[in-house]
Amino acid sequence: MSVSWQNQQERSNRLALTTIRWIAQHLGRPAARAILYPITLYFVLFAPAQRRASHHYLKRILTHKPTWFDVVRHIHCFASTILDRVFLLTGQFDKLQIKFPAANLPLEYSRRGQGSVLLGSHLGSFEVLRSYAIRKCPLPIKILMYEEHNPMIIDILNALNPNAADMVIPMGEPESMLEVKEAIEAGYAVGMLGDRTMGEEKTTQCVFLGDSVAFPTAPILIAAALQAPVTLFFGLYLGGNRYEIHFELLAERIVLGRETRQEDIQKWTQRYASRLEHYMKLAPYNWFNFFDYWRDETCRSTKRPSDD
């Protein structure tokens, strides 16, 4: 998996983001969503790397040859989830339809005083759970994440709800793993994303949409070390104002054998990758990794999506 996304220059403009936030808060969601169309067009026209990455991914996931409209739809879907963070973080849940499953697995663990690992991805919106947990759902949750990638967006959105920042455990800090351990022992669900590699972290190869991809092993190693159950989380965006949350138990307990440690790590990571692929096929336009994920030369070419 490429790590070039870490080096991509942030395209967000602080004035534009602040303007969208103001419109969303004062003029409402319909007016704010209208602005998403020119924003989407901008990225389609002037972000060739992200446009090619979208087209390359859509070729793998769709049952038909992706068109220019498919790329536009993909980017617009991403922009819609970013906009909805404003409403999620300010507690305006009445503007969104959020469907929870009958069994809220991480909440059930927490009520028993047992912490868990909540393993998500860049599929759909993780924010839909983080924000919902602040205002509506009594789930004690911490999020283990890197905040360096989109500091401008994070700063603006966290300003909407200071409590959101308190939920974050920064990755890469000396005390990060200690904070995770303390949160698990206190009955928190500790959320993390398992579909991007960071720098020189350890990885294992998994089959993903037909090719071998390096997935990070940290989520499996953390769960095994803390003997915490692992629940998969997917907050799928269904269009309009609709979201659907899915929880799925990956393991009550992950045990890594002394003689089979690497094989066990790969097995559990592959299970995660396979379930992620399953949910991607349910909502193919929800995949928000706009970089050369499969390290494919055609993705780095200068061709426009419509030329393929």
Tens digit of pLDDT for each residue in 106-157?
999 999 999 999 999 999 998 888 777 766 678 899 988 876 655 655 666 5
Q: What is the pTM of this model?
A: 0.88
Provide the pLDDT for residue 2.
47
Which tens digits make up the pLDDT trace of 37-65? 998 998 889 889 999 999 999 999 999 99
Residue type, 195: D
**182-185 contact pairs (CB < 8 A, 24+):** 183/115, 183/142, 184/115, 184/116, 184/117, 184/226, 184/228, 185/115
Share of the chain above pLDDT 90, in %: 56
Q: Residue 268: which residues within 8 A CB-CB, separation 6 or more?
A: 220, 250, 251, 254
At 305, is the pLDDT very low, low, confident or very high (cuts 50, 70, 90)? very low
- Among 141, 268, 279, residue whose Cα is nearest residue 209: 279
Share of the chain above pLDDT 70, in %: 83
Provide the pLDDT for residue 298.
57
Provide the pLDDT for residue 91.
81
- Among 159, 161, 219, residue whose Cα is nearest residue 195: 219
pLDDT, averaged across the chain: 86
Which tens digits make up the pLDDT trace of 166-200? 788 888 788 889 999 999 999 999 999 999 887 67
With 0-12 / 13-18 / 19 or more C-beta atoms within 10 angstroms meaning exposed / middle / buried, residue 86 is: buried
Mean pLDDT in residue range 228-252 = 96
Structure tokens at 240: 């309009």
CB count in 10 Å sphere of residue 21: 20
**Domain coordinates of the chain in residue numbers?**
4-290
Checking if the pLDDT of 300 tops 60, the result is: no
Q: Identify the residue with better confidence: 82 or 253.
A: 253
Provide the pLDDT for residue 154.
63
Provide the pLDDT for residue 308.
40
Strands of the sheet with 168-170, listed across from one edge:
97-99, 242-251, 230-239, 116-120, 189-193, 141-145, 168-170
Which tens digits make up the pLDDT trace of 84-110? 988 888 888 889 999 988 888 999 999
Checking if the pLDDT of 239 tops 60, the result is: yes
Q: Which residues pair with 233 in a beta bridge?
A: 247
**Range scoring the smallest mean pLDDT among 8-17, 69-78, 223-232:** 8-17
